[in-house]
Structure 1
Amino acid sequence: MPAPFRIMGIVNATPDSFSDGGRYLDATAAVAHARELEADGAAILDLGGESTRPGADPVPADEERRRVVPVIEALAAGGSAAQLSIDTIKLEVARAAVDAGATYVNDVTAFRHDPGMAALVAERGLDCCLMHMRGEPRTMQSDPVYDDVVSEVKAFLEERLAFAVAEGVPEERIQLDPGIGFGKTAEHNLELLARLDELVALGRPVLVGVSRKTFLGRITGRDVDDRLAATLAANVLAFTKGATIFRVHDVAPLRDALAVAAATVRAR
């Protein structure tokens, strides 16, 4: 029986990501880390060369390519069994990553930054994830306000799903991400997790990315490198609400936690 969930391991080839910035900027270190995540149970490896933390500055496309393409090439040449994902908003970076071996595009702007991304995904037969984000990383946490965050995020994802399909992307290739921490307060994040089933009702797999995020630190009082327990709890709760893809830094502990949760759900 196939696993009822997939884990996406985070590989940040950046100097400024909020949790592990600078640790895997060297391509050799990034490849080794990615292989460890795969061995721990990651079904997807998400390679990113531009931080999307709150307040992050943009990275030129040439520099972003330089950071990620050698890592993807090495993993593809090494016979990685995990699906290789490129975390980018730039069409030229995505194209270079796909040429290097990536088969998944994770776009935090949901094809709004560069609508041509949809055509690339359609033409190359790629999987993709469309995420909700208010504003851009530099501004997204500047007093985000919603009348009903879940309804507004759902309407946004529904619209972007329709756009992607109209551009030729098969619906079965599309996954949706509510964008926990992207232009939301801690209260908004908790509301989205509590009502995640309303987004699952759109009929596409839902991805959640809560790993080590600030709102977990506010709840627990823990620093960024000490939020594993909180991350596991939030992901297990998301699983019970219907999420099936989980983007995390710590793959092995989450694999075990979700395996127990899945066995319990099946037993009932």
Structure 2
Amino acid sequence: MTTVTAGDLPIGPGHPPRIVGVLNVSERSPYDPSVHTDPASAADHAADLAAAGADVIDIGLESANRRYETLSAAEECERLEVALGVVDRVDADVAFSIETRYAEVAAAALDGGFDMVNDICGFADPEMAPVCRERDAPVVTMAGPDDLDRPGVVEAIDWASERSPAWAEQADHVDRTVAALERDPLTEQTIVDPAFGRWSDAQTLDQDRALLARLGELRALDRPILVSLHRKSFLRELCDRSTEDALPVSLAATALAVARGADMIRTHDVQATADAATVGAAFAAAPAQAPGRDVRERLVRSVDAAERECRRVGADPVSAPEMVARTIELDVDASARERLAAAAPSAGVTVAAGSDGTLLSGSPAAFQRLADRVDAPAGLASDLAWIADTLATPTDRPESVVSIE
């Protein structure tokens, strides 16, 4: 997994989750406490964010909210003076990030003292990647189409042409999000952002929830992951909270996101978010890695994730259905247990039969072979085929248990 460095700040696996405090110099920001258009006030707020525990301060020159018209690069450059003034005024051990969709603005910011770029349009400006690569600057790329006016709208990509009509038909929002990030010209210092939020009318709250549940699948991109969950509608609706009362749900989601692989959390509430991220990191499932050896575990929980890992290393994804081991429980009689035990070894399924139940463990492909081979009543064979199909499908509950009675 790639580690990137912003200034002197390492970001990625093996390092604490990094907290990105938000400062907006645009009056159109949807969250008023982060808005500071006066240079002195903006610098004071940045200093407060650093004192609260921010590792990075992300300065936005305009609102990315789709309700507003997009500023031009020239208009952003006019506002950049305030942002550059913040960098000059603030004496704190933090990295500074400029949020922009334009390479011209990114270049001016990096040359003026900024450490990294937050590109909300995912390299839609074809010069953005070269600008960041030439300066060896980290850049966050958000999933979306090659369109400077439509950040985050992964549904706008013509997936039938990009991949295939069959892929476009079966792919869900998480698949499309990962694919959108795969298609960008990622630099060695790229951080990926899966674009939580209602970036279009087509994006649903359930899609955001599935994205959070399956966030770990982005690890196949081999890049640090940034998430922006602050008071998002898909979290507020779960607990029927207003934006003002949504800090607790944001903190719960932060802990989950870090436990599932997020390396950076963008937030307006720095101190509380830092605490939530620390809790998430303490309970994260860390992949095994041999010290001093080039050996490391990949956390793969679905066939789709296995296919991405295969593509990452240049392997044929045909082996993916054999790479995901899952355990299920069956409530069957003694005769069925004997038949399962007889057929399981040749199918590649492990059976553990006890007085109170039967456990089966194997890959989706192994369960399908067992369904085809076992000499069992039609109902049991059908259950096994259903299990194989279910385990091959990504789940919105990464730690789910399949139990058949």
Relative to structure 1, the CA distance from residue 4 to residue 203 in structure 2 (aligned partners, 3 Å threshold; closer, same or farther) is same
Partner in structure 1 of residue 241 of structure 2: 222
C-alpha offsets along residues 124-155 of structure 1, whole Å, 9 cap, x if unaligned? 110001111356667978x9898401111111
1:116 is the counterpart of 2:127? yes
For the 8 Å contact 1:72–1:84, the answer to whether it is kept is: no
1:51 equivalent to 2:49? Answer no
- Say which one has the larger Rg: 2
Q: CA RMSD in A?
A: 2.6
Pairing 1:79–2:103 present: no
| 1:75-118 alpha-carbon deviations (Å, 9 max, x no partner) | 24533321110100012211221122112111111111x11111
The separation in 2 between residues aligned to 1:207 and 1:140, in whole angstroms, is 14
Kept in 1: contact 2:218–2:225 (CA 8 A) = yes
Which stretch of structure 1 is more off in the superposition, 213-222 or 249-258? 213-222
Paired residue secondary structure (1:225):
coil
8 Å CA contact 2:22, 2:57 repeated in 1? yes
Bigger drift between 100-109 and 21-30 goes to: 21-30
Greater mean deviation of Cα atoms: 189-198 or 215-224: 215-224
Partner of 1:155: 179
Q: Percent of aligned positions with the same letter in both sequences?
A: 36
Matched, 1:18 2:30: yes
- Separation in 2, partners of 1:57, 1:180: 20
Unpaired runs of 5+ residues, structure 2, are: 1-13, 158-167, 287-405
| Cα distance change of structure 1 residues 210 and 26 upon mapping to structure 2, 3 Å threshold | same
Match of 2:366 in 1: none
The alpha-carbon distance between structure 1 residues 196 and 24, as it changes in their structure 2 partners (threshold 3 A), is same
On the 8 A contact 2:227/2:266 being kept in 1, the answer is yes
Quick one: distance in 2 between partners of 1:123 and 1:235?
33
Which of structures 1 and 2 has the larger relative contact order (alpha carbons within 8 angstroms, sep 6+)? 1
Paired letter, 1:157: L
Question: Which blocks of at least 5 consecutive residues in structure 1 are unaligned?
Answer: none
Q: How many pairs were matched up?
A: 257
CA distance in 1, matches of 2:31, 2:144: 19
Question: Using a 3 Å threshold, how does the CA distance of structure 1 residues 247 and 61 change in structure 2: closer, same or farther?
Answer: same
Give the whole-Å Cα distance in 1 for the aligned partners of 2:225 and 2:62: 23
For residue 116 of structure 1, what is the amino acid of its counterpart? E
Counterpart Cα distance in 2 of 1:101 and 1:33: 18
- Whether 1:41 and 2:65 are equivalent positions in the alignment is no
- Listed one character per residue, the Cα deviations across residues 147-186 of structure 1 (whole Å, up to 9, x for unaligned) are 40111111111111xx23xxxx3x2x11101000134311
SS state at 2:183 partner: helix
1:247 to 1:59, Cα distance in 2 relative to 1, 3 A? same
